């Protein structure tokens, strides 16, 4: 069974640009969550999608958005990039239904904003 | 709101020595508890989890953690560590939101360094 796949693995962008990150969940999983990991703030929850609907959102500005497609693949978009957006972005997939609450993480996309 | 505190940011130990990584949480609702491990330039891998039932949970590579509701703790232990255990360890609290949605709140992580 293939794991969670995130693309690209590494990305360098300039301030003010926008970026789109992709996440393919484990087959059969319908929930995809996104997290931002930085040395200063640690791991922070961005949002979660289930069956193409955003079910929960963290405390991030509106520049951070996401979507989920009918095949459960998800994309995360960050517009007007700032230096502080440099981070490892992790995607996690799960069945999204009780009682199975285990989240499986991808290897992440390392975003560097210069 | 939930929060997680990992009391040690770094733990150095010698190979074959025992180790304990401490984790305390706060929550006003029932929670699920997890330990994840992260190796350099990798994502997070689930080490073990507590959902319900027995308060002592074990992983396949010798780690164990005990859920202590009265002390709101979920400390991770291993009786004898190996060089390969060098990694960053994250404790997380999960709460079931609407219809199975889950939000994980992570601690700041503990960097475990094993010295030969």
Query: What digits encode the pLDDT tens for the residues A71-81?
Result: 999 999 999 99
* Burial (Cβ within 10 Å: 0-12, 13-18, ≥19) of residue B89: buried
Nearest-CA distance B46 → chain A (Å)? 7
Q: Which residue has the higher pLDDT, A51 or B98?
A: A51
Q: Which residue has the higher pLDDT, A98 or A41?
A: A41
Cβ-based neighbours of A56, under 8 Å, separated by 6 or more: A45, A47, A48, B97, B98, B101, B103
pLDDT, tens digit only, all 116 positions of chain B: 788 999 999 999 999 999 999 999 988 777 789 999 999 888 899 999 888 788 888 887 899 999 998 899 999 999 999 999 999 999 998 876 666 667 889 999 999 999 98
B99 and A CB contact within 8 Å: yes
Cβ-based neighbours of B88, under 8 Å, separated by 6 or more: B37, B38, B109, B110, B111, B112
Distance from C-alpha of B109 to C-alpha of A52, rounded to nearest angstrom:
31
pLDDT of residue B6: 96
Who among B51, B92, B109 is closest to A99 (CB)? B51
Tens-place pLDDT, residues A26-44: 999 999 999 999 998 999 9
Q: Is the pLDDT of residue A22 over 90?
A: yes
Mean pLDDT to the nearest integer, A5-26? 97
Answer whether B9's CB lies under 8 Å from B113's CB: no
Measured in degrees and rounded to the nearest 5, phi and psi for residue B99 equal: 45, 40
Nearest-CA distance B116 → chain A (Å)? 27
Distance from C-alpha of A85 to C-alpha of A4, rounded to nearest angstrom:
22
Mean pLDDT to the nearest integer, A14-31? 96
B107 and A CB contact within 8 Å: yes
Q: Do B51 and A31 touch (CB under 8 A)?
A: no
Q: Which residue has the higher pLDDT, B99 or A47?
A: A47
Structure tokens at A36: 């931002």
Q: Is the pLDDT of residue A100 over 60?
A: no
Q: From the CA atom positions of chain A, what is the Rg in Å?
A: 13
The residue of B43, B97, B106 whose CB has the most chain A CBs within 10 angstroms, and thus the best one to mutate to test that interface, is B43
Q: Can you tell me which residue has the tokens 């994309």? A: A75
pLDDT of residue A103: 87
Q: Is the pLDDT of residue A15 over 60?
A: yes
B32 and A CB contact within 8 Å: yes
């Amino acid at each position: 069974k293939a794991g969670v796949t995130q693309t690209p693995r590494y990305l360098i962008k300039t301030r003010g640009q926008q970026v789109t990150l992709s996440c393919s969940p484990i087959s059969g999983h319908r929930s995809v969550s996104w997290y931002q990991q930085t040395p200063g703030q640690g791991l922070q929850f961005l949002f979660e999608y289930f069956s193409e609907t955003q079910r929960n959102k963290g405390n991030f500005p509106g520049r951070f958005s996401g979507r989920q497609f009918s095949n459960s693949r998800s994309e995360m978009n960050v517009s007007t990039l700032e230096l502080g957006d440099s981070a490892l972005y992790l995607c996690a997939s799960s069945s999204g239904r009780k009682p199975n609450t285990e989240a499986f993480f991808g290897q992440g996309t390392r975003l560097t904003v210069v | 709101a939930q929060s997680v505190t990992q009391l040690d940011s770094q733990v150095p130990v010698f190979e074959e020595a025992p180790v304990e990584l401490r984790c305390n949480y706060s929550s006003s609702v029932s929670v699920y508890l997890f330990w994840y491990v992260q190796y350099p330039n990798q994502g997070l891998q689930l080490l073990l989890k507590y959902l319900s039932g027995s308060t002592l949970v074990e992983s396949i590579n010798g780690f164990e953690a005990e859920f202590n509701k009265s002390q709101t703790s979920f400390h991770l232990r291993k009786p004898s560590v190996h060089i390969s255990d060098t990694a960053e360890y994250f404790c997380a609290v999960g709460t079931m939101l609407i219809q199975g949605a889950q939000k994980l709140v992570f601690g700041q992580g503990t960097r475990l360094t094993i010295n030969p």
